[in-house]
Amino acid sequence: MKITMAHGSGGKSSAELMGDIFGKHFRNQVLDKMEDAAVLSVGGKIACSTDSFVVSPLVFKGGDIGKLCVCGTVNDLLMMGSVPKYLTCGFILEEGLDVEVLDQIVESMARQARAAGVIIVAGDTKVVEGNGGMYINTTGIGEIPEGRYVSSSNCEEGDLIICSGNLGDHHACILSHRMEIENSISSDCAPLNDIVEALYEAGINVKTMRDVTRGGLGTVINEIAESSSVKIELEEESIPVNPEVKGFADILGLDPLYMGNEGKMIAVVPCAQAEAALSAVRATEHGVDARIIGKVKAGEGAYIKTHLGATRRFDVLYGEGLPRIC
Ligand code: MG
């Protein structure tokens, strides 16, 4: 069965879609009340983030737009030190979308939401003319426990930078699908609750956390250097990249420094706690390949020490990169 304009009419077909797909997968005590708005309890400071997901293809190795739209927003909440709690989702479905694909994607969202500890408390669906595509917006709310304060402007001379794992997997995976290149590269799309909680449980004074998404590590490092008014120097040889992704990037002339990820983060921590922080991250499911990749120095700008020993400055990503990656 395909999605038709009738599914967006607000009438019988809409109600069936709600019950048969969204209701079936998303049921929880807040949604079941069927009120005009969700009433939520939160204590203290909250983090709030929103993101729209337009990835093409809808389903890819290692994930799909449903998994991505949960992980993307959950990870942004986590990067502020918050504990993700609630998610809303807005679906824009194009006429002609396969209902089975929609069911698979909604099921995937529900599974990821459970894994990330969030419940979906509000949602909306619209149907538009088109070619069977779909887009999802998610907004998330997380609670910030007392005493946590992370910000891109917190870094100081002497701090070290931990990268949670191999860079470029998601970007290379999406590009492989688009170019119909056969390989075993899988998206790294994942919720990073385990890494963030491990850092706090180990008592680390986390200064800054950023998920390394569109624009890549190069863009994130530049943003932090600017916000904190410091110089950041990365060691090229320490930056983890899966050899298959490295080979793929080399052939296409891509730099993993600017490739997008959906399950990788960096944490900036005090030098004295860096080894403890690294072991805490490496003990988690999503942080096994973590490395210390650089340090914060006095000065300004983002630099990388290449494998030849030279140091060069690098900038944020300019231009489009790969469109519709997330
Ligand atoms: Mg982010």
Tell me the per-residue pLDDT of 19-52, one tens digit each, with 9 for 90 and over. 899 999 999 999 988 889 999 988 899 999 999 9
Q: Please check whether residues 139 and 168 belong to one and the same domain.
A: no
Whether 166 shows a pLDDT value over 90: the answer reads yes
CA gap 111, 286 in Å, rounded: 17
CA 76–ligand 1 middle distance (angstroms) = 5
Q: Please check whether residues 197 and 280 belong to one and the same domain.
A: yes
CA 205–ligand 1 middle distance (angstroms) = 20
CA 106–ligand 1 middle distance (angstroms) = 23
pLDDT value of residue 209: 98
Domain presence at residue 174 = yes
Q: Please check whether residues 194 and 62 belong to one and the same domain.
A: no
Q: Please check whether residues 207 and 135 belong to one and the same domain.
A: no
Q: Please check whether residues 17 and 121 belong to one and the same domain.
A: yes
CA 77–ligand 1 middle distance (angstroms) = 8
CA gap 18, 276 in Å, rounded: 47
Kindly report, residue by residue over 61-86, the tens digit of the pLDDT: 999 999 999 999 999 999 999 999 99
Q: Please check whether residues 186 and 280 belong to one and the same domain.
A: yes
Q: Please check whether residues 200 and 71 belong to one and the same domain.
A: no
CA 5–ligand 1 middle distance (angstroms) = 34
3-state helix/strand/coil string of 101-155 = HHHHHHHHHHHHHHHHCCEEEEEEEEEECCCCCEEEEEEEEEECCCCCCCCCCCC
Q: Range of 97's domain?
A: 5-143
Domain presence at residue 154 = no
Q: Count the domains in the chain.
A: 2
What pTM value is reported for the model?
0.96
Which of 110, 143, 176 is the last residue before a domain boundary? Answer: 143
- Contacts with 237 (C-beta within 8 Å, 6 or more apart), sequence order: 307
Query: Residue 63: which CATH number?
Result: 3.30.1330.10
CA 250–ligand 1 middle distance (angstroms) = 26
pLDDT value of residue 321: 75
